[in-house]
A = this chain, B = another copy of it.
Amino acid sequence: MGMFIEPIGKLINEFTKLQGVGAKTAQRFAYEIINMSKEEAEEFAKSIIDCKTKIRYCKTCGNYTDQDECDICKNRSHEVICVVKEPKDVLAMEKIHEFSGVYHVLHGTLRPSENVGPKDIDIQGLVERIKKDGVKEVIMATNPDYDGEITAMYVSSVVKPLNVKVTRLAHGIPIGSDIEYTDEVTLTRAFVDRKEM
């Protein structure tokens, strides 16, 4: 980036750290920042810092919160827990407006290939919640990939003996997609799990 003066080159470099932001986009963003008022730019910078300093994990579910316990845990029934890999999965679930229970964020999945085992993600916290909160159902909402499936199976095996119903989000052909372009694994799953009409 030899053609950029140092502060601009530096900011461009920062923006390229964001996933999906290439050199051209980063450059455009940097120039937009320069064109902001000083107040706007300061506001932007402050909100980055605030996100790092004010946000922590909910002591109960592990989702992001700016309090000790998140609003979801505080206000909803704990009878049904939806188990997800990451905080952003909570957001995805919340967007469908179907689920009124609480969450449990594992902060990762088992990754046998990389020696990430049960102790490296928050399964223990889930077990304790089940024992303590009268949980009736655990919905496994880890991703439908290899690590996600393995994690769902493992957590299920740990949790079932605690007398709780364990369910898994359904797999199948995405709505609005095309059978022709559906990958074979998904299509096989959709076939095996077919439902009576």
Contacts and interface: CB of A to CB of B under 8 A. Distances in A.
A59 interface: no
Contacts of A42: 49, 52
**Interface of A (DSSP majority class):** helix
Nearest to A3: B94
A91 B10 contact: no
Interface residues of A, number: 51
A192 interface: no
Given A29-B18, A32-B18, A3 B95 contact: yes
A7 to B, nearest CB: 4
A52 to B, nearest CB: 4
Nearest to A66: B5
Interface in A75-95: 87-88, 91, 94-95
Nearest to A63: B5
A103 interface: no
B11 A50 contact: yes
A64 B4 CA distance: 9
Nearest to A97: B3
Nearest to A42: B49
Interface of A: 3-8, 10-11, 13-14, 17-20, 25, 27-34, 36, 38, 40-55, 64-66, 70-71, 87-88, 91, 94-95
17 contacts: A4-B91, A5-B66, A7-B47, A7-B50, A8-B51, A10-B51, A11-B48, A18-B29, A18-B32, A20-B28, A28-B88, A33-B48, A34-B52, A41-B48, A41-B51, A42-B52, A48-B48
